[in-house]
Chain A
């Protein structure tokens, strides 16, 4: 925890944005281990793949587009510092009433959590309580969050449109920057199938161990992004066509919503998986599997598309110069 604070302080001081981004990757990795030590295995999983992997990459890609150094600010930050101090002091005062760390009798553990832990095995039949809460008890939330990811994906796509001209210019081939790195390429060739396999494992094993659609989507996307970085955009886009990816983004959300509609048509509530099969527990299994698949598809294709868009921008800049 204290390491986290130190890293964050270093981020404030540094002017070199490249170092800032690298440090924030480190920060994510530290926070993943912090989550792990607090029993939040699923969260640690997500943070490690998202924070330390994809977000660092996206920041680096945009640094390539906007330049590496921060300019020196002309203003004195005294006022900002004052505001921050006052807010911080008020917040610390607020924590004095908080239940102590690790207390069993804290209010948060009294409301719905006992039901999730005690009854989810009989009601849902899935050992991982996080998955059953995510996909079943709070299925509406998760649908909303998938929609947010979908919307953000659309936003990035429309902001970073790639003109046909750029594509024609680079029709021949977009050469990979790392063509010469033989060791990296060989190692990556061995790693990528394993990463993709692991992504699928996380996807379908999310009921029993830590994992699920969100993590799996990000891990799968990370595999594809690794391939793109080392072997060039053209060869990656031969397999992952833009049109297909765009369709898949929408398909994931539709699959999720579709499960809800089907359960409504079968006489239950929206996203009530009990009615999908004769046996409620089997119905829940099927529902969770489909919903997680929808989440995974959307997350993976949005992440891959976003990365492609950023890379196309760099290609465009290169050709315009």
Chain B
């Protein structure tokens, strides 16, 4: 009973960790967004699991039924899903712009380009000073 009673929550934790892993370990920005949405849905599962009552029915009131599941989590989650897609769309459009500006959506390649730009700006402004060697080292790493 103990195991079955908590099974849903454990799967939620597992899914959440899978999403978390994708976000921190993968470099591709699209993959990161997919990971983020897995993380997000795991929270949805958590809420909906909490709202469920055994033997209850969907919260559409009718005389034939006495026991209903909790409607509050349903409300919170259904709005969260639509907000989630709106923010994902925003994220995707950022990714598209990054691709246009850098020609890549891999995090490491973007970082290399950024360091390179910084180096050039530095050279333009101060000439090869003491910081130059450090920055250059960073770039070559």
What is A's interface to B at a CB cutoff of 8 Å?
1-2, 4-5, 8-9, 11-12, 17, 20-21, 24, 27-28, 31, 34-35, 38-43, 45-47, 50-51, 54-55, 58-59, 61-63, 65-67, 70-71, 73-75, 77, 80-81, 83-85, 87-88, 91-92, 95-96, 98, 100-104, 106, 108-109, 112-113, 116-117, 120-121, 127-130, 133-134, 138, 141-142, 145, 148-149, 152-153, 155-156, 159-160, 208-210, 212, 214-215, 217-218, 299, 302-303, 306, 309-310, 313
Contact = CB atoms under 8 A, between A and B. Distances in A.
A149 B83 contact: yes
Contacts of B135: none
Contacts of B96: 62, 65-66, 159-160, 310, 313
In the A-B complex, list the 10 residue pairs whose CB atoms are closest, starting with the nearest: A100-B5, A102-B54, A152-B86, A80-B25, A129-B59, A39-B69, A95-B9, A129-B71, A88-B17, A70-B28
Interface string B38-59: 1001001100111111111111
Nearest to B10: A92
Contacts of A1: 7-8, 11, 45
Nearest to B81: A46
Interface of B: 1, 4-11, 13-22, 24-28, 30-31, 33-35, 37-38, 41, 44-45, 48-62, 67-90, 92-97, 99, 105-106, 108
Contact of B73 (A4, A87, A108): A108
B110 to A, nearest CB: 12
A102 B53 contact: yes
Given A39-B59, A117-B68, A117-B71, A12 B86 contact: no
Contacts of B74: 40, 42-43, 130
Contact of A84 (B9, B21, B92, B94): B21
25 contacts: A1-B45, A4-B11, A5-B14, A5-B18, A27-B41, A43-B78, A59-B33, A81-B25, A88-B13, A92-B13, A98-B9, A100-B6, A104-B67, A116-B72, A117-B71, A129-B60, A130-B75, A141-B75, A148-B83, A152-B89, A152-B90, A155-B93, A159-B93, A208-B60, A306-B93
B68 to A, nearest CB: 5
A8 B83 CA distance: 22
Contacts of B94: 159
A101 B52 contact: yes
Contacts of B53: 102-104, 109
A162 to B, nearest CB: 12
B85 A101 contact: no
A296 to B, nearest CB: 11
Contacts of B5: 100-103
B90 A159 contact: yes
Contact of A73 (B25, B37, B41, B89): B25
A63 B92 CA distance: 9
Given A43-B48, A66-B96, A109-B53, 18 more contacts: A1-B45, A4-B45, A8-B15, A17-B28, A24-B34, A27-B38, A39-B58, A39-B68, A40-B73, A59-B30, A65-B99, A81-B21, A101-B9, A134-B78, A141-B75, A152-B89, A159-B94, A310-B92
